[in-house]
């Protein structure tokens, strides 16, 4: 079966329903300006075409981002579609029998500067969750989350209240769902390889639960992928290429506390590609390496067993490494909560400074046992502006930014 334009595409999606039918979605073309239409095709298990649909907005952008299926084989699409000159996030349902569009639902962020679609999943309670980004008048990016019924009724839509980084680019990357339908999102801040990354968990109603920074000894991991196991424990797998080619696996418990970190040396000039986790908690990693001699690319598939690595599979409340997390809320008025992890008994200082470097608050200055902690900062007596909070514990030190808006 030949799919026109698929070899020139940035990305395409393949799903298989319970009857082994194959759903493929893609954007033909090789540049953003070519995203004038997207294609969805349904094939039987022998590759015969059942139906094919093309979504084409006249003189507008139609950028397919993700596809998922329900138990009946109906197709749900998240896409960026141009409406009256503004890019909008849209979710639509295609009938499993003939591919006809049964409904379309738009996220209404009131943004005049556009939205972009990202990922779409169906949770264990049979609700649709759609992730995207919205641009405000200052071109600051805000992650957006929408929850719908399978019939297209929007239950709620939210611009997620998470900021506080020095970059104005707070971009949603991907998300996973736990068994209760809570959402864990991977965000990154900025557009460079060294951009900071965080995991943020929201409830089934879109309310903030916790956040944790993704880093190793204060260094951000360049390429990452988010997984979740059958016990609702998220994992970050990824790779860094400087100062050493390493693959990382970081496990967190369901409360966002780091459980363990495993590293492996990759082949030179290698790239982390993707990974998955099976029902027994075994982790698969796919990496690739380009040979400058043969000018070919080799792929390596590695399987890890947590018990063989010496790690337990259950939850542990003791963090694996020091971490200072993003405060919430941020911006704030007048209080915010700062969370941090201490893996071993240490003298801990948590202080807040103004933009001139003057200390304005001392939140913690004492010996702490290993554990995950939080401290409340009350700025009711301070004026609006930028502040910094700093955690020092032994040789570890980390600083993050706060924005007080009154």
DSSP secondary structure letters along 201-264: EE-TTS-EEEEEE-EETTEEPSEEEEEE-TTS-EEEEEEE-SSS-EEEEEEE-TTS-EEEEEEE
Helix (H, G, I), strand (E, B) or coil at 387: strand
Question: Which has the closest alpha carbon to 161: 183, 144, 184, 179?
Answer: 144
Q: Average of pLDDT values for 224-233?
A: 90
Listed range (64-73, 99-108, 272-281, 285-294) with the worst mean pLDDT: 285-294
DSSP secondary structure letters along 281-299: S-EEEEEEEE-TTT--EEE
The predicted-structure confidence for 16-34, as pLDDT tens digits, reads as follows 999 999 999 988 754 445 5
The predicted-structure confidence for 126-170, as pLDDT tens digits, reads as follows 999 999 988 776 667 778 899 999 999 999 988 775 544 444 456
Whole-model pTM: value is: 0.78
| 326 DSSP 8-state letter | P
Q: pLDDT-based confidence at 257, cuts 50/70/90? A: confident
Does pLDDT of 268 surpass 60?
no
Half-sphere exposure of residue 131, counting CA atoms within 13 Å on the CB side? Answer: 21
Half-sphere exposure of residue 393, counting CA atoms within 13 Å on the CB side? Answer: 25
Give residue for tokens 């639960």: 209
Interatomic CA distance for residues 294 and 197, integer angstroms: 35
Interatomic CA distance for residues 232 and 226, integer angstroms: 12
Interatomic CA distance for residues 136 and 140, integer angstroms: 6
Domains of the chain plus CATH, in order, are 6-159 (2.120.10.30), 323-404 (2.60.40.3080)
Tell how far CA 264 is from the center of its chain: 23
**To which H or E segment does residue 101 belong?**
strand 101-106
């Amino acid at each position: 079966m030949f799919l026109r334009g698929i070899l020139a595409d940035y990305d395409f999606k393949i799903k298989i329903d319970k009857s082994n039918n194959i759903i493929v979605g893609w954007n033909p073309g090789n540049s953003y300006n070519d995203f004038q239409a997207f294609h969805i095709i349904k094939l039987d298990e022998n590759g015969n075409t059942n139906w094919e649909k093309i979504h084409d907005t006249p003189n507008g952008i139609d950028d397919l981002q993700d596809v998922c299926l329900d138990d009946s084989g109906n197709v749900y699409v998240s896409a960026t579609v141009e409406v009256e000159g503004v890019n909008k996030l849209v979710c639509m349902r295609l009938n499993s029998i003939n591919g006809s569009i049964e409904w379309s639902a738009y996220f209404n962020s009131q943004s005049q500067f556009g939205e972009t679609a990202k990922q779409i999943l169906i949770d264990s309670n049979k609700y649709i969750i759609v992730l995207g980004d919205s641009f405000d008048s200052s071109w600051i990016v805000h992650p957006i989350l929408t929850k719908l019924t399978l019939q297209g009724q929007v239950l709620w839509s939210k611009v997620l209240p998470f900021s506080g980084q020095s970059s104005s680019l707070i971009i949603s990357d991907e998300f996973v769902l736990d068994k209760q339908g809570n959402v864990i999102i991977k965000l990154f801040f900025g557009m460079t390889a060294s951009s900071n990354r965080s995991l943020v968990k929201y409830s089934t109603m879109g309310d903030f639960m916790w956040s944790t920074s993704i880093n190793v000894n204060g260094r951000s991991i360049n390429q990452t992928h988010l997984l979740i196991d059958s016990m609702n424990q998220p994992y970050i797998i990824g790779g860094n290429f400087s100062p050493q080619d390493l693959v990382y696996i970081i496990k967190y418990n369901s409360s966002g506390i780091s459980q363990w970190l495993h590293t492996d040396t990759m082949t030179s000039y290698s790239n982390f590609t993707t990974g998955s986790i099976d029902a027994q908690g075994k982790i698969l990693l796919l990496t690739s390496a380009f040979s400058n001699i043969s000018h070919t690319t080799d792929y390596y598939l590695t399987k890890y067993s947590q018990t063989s690595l010496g790690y337990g599979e259950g939850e542990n409340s003791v963090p694996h490494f020091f971490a200072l997390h993003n405060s919430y809320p941020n911006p704030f008025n007048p209080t915010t909560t700062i969370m941090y992890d201490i893996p071993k008994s240490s003298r801990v200082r948590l202080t807040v400074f103004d933009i001139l470097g003057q200390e304005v608050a001392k939140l913690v200055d004492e010996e702490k046992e290993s554990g995950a902690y939080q401290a409340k900062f009350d700025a009711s007596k301070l004026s609006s502006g930028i502040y910094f909070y700093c955690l020092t514990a032994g040789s570890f030190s980390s600083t993050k930014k706060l924005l007080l808006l009154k």
